[in-house]
Chains A and B, each alone.
Chain A
Amino acid sequence: SQQGEEDPQALSIQEGENATMNCSYKTSINNLQWYRQNSGRGLVHLILIRSNEREKHSGRLRVTLDTSKKSSSLLITASRAADTASYFCATVVNRDDKIIFGKGTRLHILP
């Protein structure tokens, strides 16, 4: 089964609204990373949050981490058309330092 699983699988919101995506994982982690992928392109790193951190911000992005619930959320505020993409969480597992990607959330910003 997946180490990291994003929820929802797909999300459509109006431009200007906030978008929230969640990631759940199963085993102890070193850190959790969020990436964006535009259609047909490579992934772009957004934010890395370490296991001893609870929240990080970068521009319109806010990531939270709850290690007791083994979950993370990515919030994109004031969404724009350019935010339309797939968003992946990736966990670096403590056991072997391997990075494991989830299947992603497809975000569509409606004009």
Chain B
Amino acid sequence: DGGITQSPKYLFRKEGQNVTLSCEQNLNHDAMYWYRQDPGQGLRLIYYSQIVNDFQKGDIAEGYSVSREKKESFPLTVTSAQKNPTAFYLCASSIKETLFQFFGPGTRLTVL
């Protein structure tokens, strides 16, 4: 059953904590992406990776970090430096950067 998965579905964080959101795909896609979505808004790009061991900052990378040690996995860490992390986080992958993306189900992060 091919696809892209994210875990957990809901995540609660205390202020000052780092948390890591998981994203895994078995579609054999080279490119992977992390987006943030706020209520009633579109998607804003946090980080993207076109190949293993390489990644680039998107439009709102401050306070976030990523790694791409395996083709299948692209975890996102929300650090304590991110001042307003409460949002819906979406991971996506694509065969090629210019082609359409497959999205995971999302992780809703809430800061307590």
The judgment on whether A and B are partners is: yes
The A-contacting residues of B in range 71-90, CB under 8 angstroms, are: 88, 90
- Chain A residues with CB under 8 A of B92: 42-43
- Chain A residues with CB under 8 A of B90: 42-43
**A92-B102 CB under 8 A given contacts A42-B90, A101-B43, A104-B42:** no
In the complex, the 10 A-B pairs of residues with the closest C-beta atoms, listed nearest first: A42-B103, A103-B42, A45-B100, A101-B43, A43-B103, A101-B42, A92-B98, A42-B105, A48-B100, A97-B97
Q: How far is the CA of A17 from the CA of B16 in the complex (A)?
A: 50
Question: Does A78 lie at the interface of the complex (its beta carbon under 8 Å from any beta carbon of B)?
Answer: no
Nearest Cβ on chain B to A29's Cβ, whole angstroms: 10
- Chain A residues with CB under 8 A of B99: 48
- Chain B residues with CB under 8 A of A98: 45, 97
User: Do the beta carbons of B105 and A41 come within 8 Å of each other?
Assistant: yes
Nearest Cβ on chain B to A60's Cβ, whole angstroms: 19
A-B pairs with beta carbons under 8 Å apart, 10 shown:
A2-B42, A35-B103, A42-B6, A42-B92, A42-B103, A43-B43, A45-B101, A88-B42, A102-B42, A103-B40
Interface size class of A (residues with CB under 8 A): 20 to 34
Contact residues of A with B, CB < 8 Å?
2, 30-31, 33, 35, 40-45, 48, 88, 92, 97-99, 101-104
Residue of A nearest to B90 (CB): A42
Q: How far is the CA of A40 from the CA of B106 in the complex (A)?
A: 8
Question: Does B17 lie at the interface of the complex (its beta carbon under 8 Å from any beta carbon of A)?
Answer: no
- Chain A residues with CB under 8 A of B88: 40
Question: Does B53 lie at the interface of the complex (its beta carbon under 8 Å from any beta carbon of A)?
Answer: no
Q: How far is the CA of A40 from the CA of B52 in the complex (A)?
A: 29
User: Do the beta carbons of B103 and A44 come within 8 Å of each other?
Assistant: yes
Nearest Cβ on chain B to A65's Cβ, whole angstroms: 15
Q: How far is the CA of A42 from the CA of B35 in the complex (A)?
A: 11
- Chain A residues with CB under 8 A of B63: none
